[in-house]
Structure 1
């Protein structure tokens, strides 16, 4: 009797196992097969993406890296021939420069760029630094003080010549957003609000930078920054008798001519009416020339979104990026690569001497002399203007 019970129990267990096994097998047969996605060939995907940027037309290339392909390849050639950039086993020069331009053109985070180019964040960060250092070494080649000749934009325009024949450019400051530690934010807060760095730039009339001084705190006055640029070794140099056009944020002084105060200045202030006296005519034409510097600042900030967005680098890197953007701007605006390749990269500055500061008496005398020069220009201009309109 016990043996029968034992045998029945075994048969029941076996039957249960077989039933469960049959059910499990049935489920396996009806279950949808899970397929794994094909493995991405990162090298091919990266190469295809870079080629799509450089070979899909000028406009697409400008949209992504802010310059046409021919300008990009010229820049790569300059950096390569002068041994400022070297290819590595993993990343060639073309990719290094594309990634750098993509970041500063759109203010893209390293991790986002890494995902798009199938690179690690560490790799993107490392080569960003490498390219930034290389670009900065082009400063003396690409950003140069103007010579003493009259700019063609003045020489070929009867509205400006011969009155502004000694003018070599326009000079002004602009605010660039800055991210600084909390303890420094008071000094970097500008009158327009927010923390900024105050950047001084001299611009030639062909829309290029001829001098840039970055890194001053946003609360610093324009005149103070100008004085610093004139006194530091390798700083701004103004040839004897030549001058820059500046706005009323500066004082009239040796090498800088301001418009007249309390007189209509901008074109929109004149409306349909023309200038009514010598001072208004001078201000109108002064404005027409000096607006060049505002145009360049506008172009720079639109081209490189890293300058017009919240920075995510330390402050020294923010200053370096601003200078790099100015260098690249000049390259885009017409620097001839063949000329660049034939010149030395490390030329000594024209003067390493510190220019002594003037006494208050000398500054007043200087202001009187340049005010008289401005009056002479304005009166000559007005005489000729009236003669043509009689």
Structure 2
């Protein structure tokens, strides 16, 4: 009986050993198949995947964009190499943007500008910069916050038109600070909020109020209002805000017929030809002082329209709705306007390349002077506009020998 029990134990031990060997063989065969599969994939791709192997490709891509030529840098990031270096310096030293263990400041700024310039989706930037989607989203938000911190530096201080101005668009508007208008920027919002954001053209957008100076640089921005909001209502909100639009008494901005003609805001005559396409030679020349005033007003106020055109032409993300939350979309619009100013004052390729920025940190504007605190019509202001229009028309007639 003892021999029988011993034999049974030995048999069970052999069976258990065989089962373990089968498990080991199965695991070994799976490992061999996995290695063969990886070898086949590597043969197709041409190189094995590794975190260390990604670094040279990232360096080559970044060097090609920002270190090859101004033309390539401008095509990809909308600025030349010198302007890009200055922007990185400001963001790092004044905007609080710093490098991390794996991503430098230059790469953070480059991928941020790439998204704004071409409205590239996250998956496309992943391929171009060899980064994960989470990494791209993280550093996009960081650079966005750093750019907005520089608003006191990038927003310009308007300079009023003086008596010595020789610019034909502005020489009649002494004391003028620039032009003001609103523009629609398409956004993506939840279905329940679309009626509020639908503008008069039927598109879902925000109504952005912007003010620019004579050099097409933005002076003031107010974004966040729904597309259904009226321009005059947004202007009243901008003027009454604690840190809103500041218009010193005695100065003014040019506005269109969508706004009230009152102190600080000079509007054209209503019911009279205004747009440049309406004027020409012969019988299409201005027939009275109102028409001539509207013609000169339209030529000068066209500055804000040109500023909007340059802005949307430069930043592709403003030409179509993005998938960011509405709060982030509004911050992106502000960042695009700030970068517009920075490029125009430093980039050698912008139309206003002769305007060189003073690299001085501008503090908050001094509000010790008296400013306009409401947007209301005024008989006195209307009479002043009539006097200005009559003087402009009489000077024009004298120049023509009439």
The aligned counterpart of 2:390 is: 379
2:322 to 296, 307, 311: 311
1:329 aligns with 2:336: no
CA contact (8 A) 2:182 2:210 kept: yes
**Given the superposition, is the C-alpha separation of residues 145 and 160 from structure 1 closer, same or farther in structure 2, using an over 3 Å criterion?**
closer
SS at match of 1:190: coil
Query: TM-score of the superposition, structure 2-length normalised?
Result: 0.81
Deviation, 1:286, is 0.5
Superposed CA RMSD in Å reads 2.4
The aligned counterpart of 2:26 is: none
The aligned counterpart of 1:298 is: 309
SS at match of 1:39: coil
Q: Aligned ranges for residues 128-147 of structure 1 at < 5 Å?
A: 128-147=140-159
* Distance of 1:310 and 1:244 partners within structure 2: 30
- Any gaps of 5 or more consecutive residues in structure 1? 1-32
**Any runs of at least 4 consecutive aligned residues in structure 1 with deviations exceeding 3 A, and if so which?**
335-340, 347-353, 355-358
* Distance of 1:159 and 1:326 partners within structure 2: 24
1:219 aligns with 2:219: no
The aligned counterpart of 2:238 is: 229
Deviation, 1:363, is 3.4
The aligned counterpart of 1:280 is: 291
The aligned counterpart of 2:165 is: 155
SS at match of 2:56: helix
**Given the superposition, is the C-alpha separation of residues 305 and 338 from structure 1 closer, same or farther in structure 2, using an over 3 Å criterion?**
closer
**Given the superposition, is the C-alpha separation of residues 42 and 338 from structure 1 closer, same or farther in structure 2, using an over 3 Å criterion?**
farther
**Given the superposition, is the C-alpha separation of residues 218 and 388 from structure 1 closer, same or farther in structure 2, using an over 3 Å criterion?**
same
The aligned counterpart of 2:23 is: none
SS at match of 1:236: coil
Deviation, 1:145, is 3.9
Query: TM-score of the superposition, structure 1-length normalised?
Result: 0.83
Deviation, 1:114, is 1.2
Deviation, 1:158, is 5.1
2:119 to 99, 107, 114: 107
**Given the superposition, is the C-alpha separation of residues 83 and 158 from structure 1 closer, same or farther in structure 2, using an over 3 Å criterion?**
closer
CA contact (8 A) 2:261 2:376 kept: no
SS at match of 2:345: coil
1:343 to 361, 364, 370: 361
CA contact (8 A) 1:64 1:105 kept: yes
Deviation, 1:187, is 0.8
Deviation, 1:179, is 1.0
* Distance of 1:44 and 1:337 partners within structure 2: 37
* Distance of 1:43 and 1:221 partners within structure 2: 51
* Distance of 1:258 and 1:356 partners within structure 2: 16
1:263 aligns with 2:272: yes
* Distance of 2:85 and 2:356 partners within structure 1: 10
